[in-house]
Amino acid sequence: MKTSDVLKAWGRILQGKPPSLSIEITKECPLRCPGCYAYEDAHLGGDVTLRDLSDRKGQALVDGVLEVADRMKPLHLSIVGGDPLVRYRELEQMVPLLIQRGIHVQVVTSAFRILPQGWADLPKLTTVVSIDGLQPEHDARRAPATYDRIL
């Protein structure tokens, strides 16, 4: 992270604006892992606006996320779920548009499916794959076990 990014973030904090947002774009996930927080009310601090987007699909979801990004102008946007890759088509459209707005985008996934082609070449995109420890610990917490497949 550059010094200028840190200064921008502090400027936003002093103005009462969040430098970073998490938006849940789906509650769906093909995995049913014990202890997953995605279905708890406290997830995302209970912010109804940010959770509301998880009920949208297609263009309505893309438009909703872009509207929040345009209104709140975060420096960093974390896209979470369930598993965001459930909304694969929407992400393929949404991620480049967020990056064009100068937003650093992070997609947090269980990697239940292959990532979109071309994501490795996108600047300002980080993909975070959730791993719960070494293989025995990870597979004990995931249903079904996924350690070997995601590595």
pLDDT in tens, 107-151: 999 888 888 888 889 989 999 998 888 888 888 888 778 888 887
Contacts of 47-51 with C-beta under 8 Å, sequence gap 24+, read 50/21, 50/22, 50/23, 50/24, 51/24
* Ramachandran class of 126: left when φ > 0, alpha when ψ lies in -120 to 50, beta otherwise: beta
127 lies in a domain? yes
pTM for this predicted structure: 0.79
Cis peptide before 144 (omega within 30 of 0): yes
Using the 8-state DSSP alphabet, how is residue 34 labeled? T
66 lies in a domain? yes
What's the structural domain count of the chain? Answer: 1
24 lies in a domain? yes
Domain of residue 128: give its range.
19-35+59-150
Per-residue model confidence as pLDDT tens digits over 26-76: 888 888 777 776 655 555 455 555 556 777 889 999 999 999 999 998 999
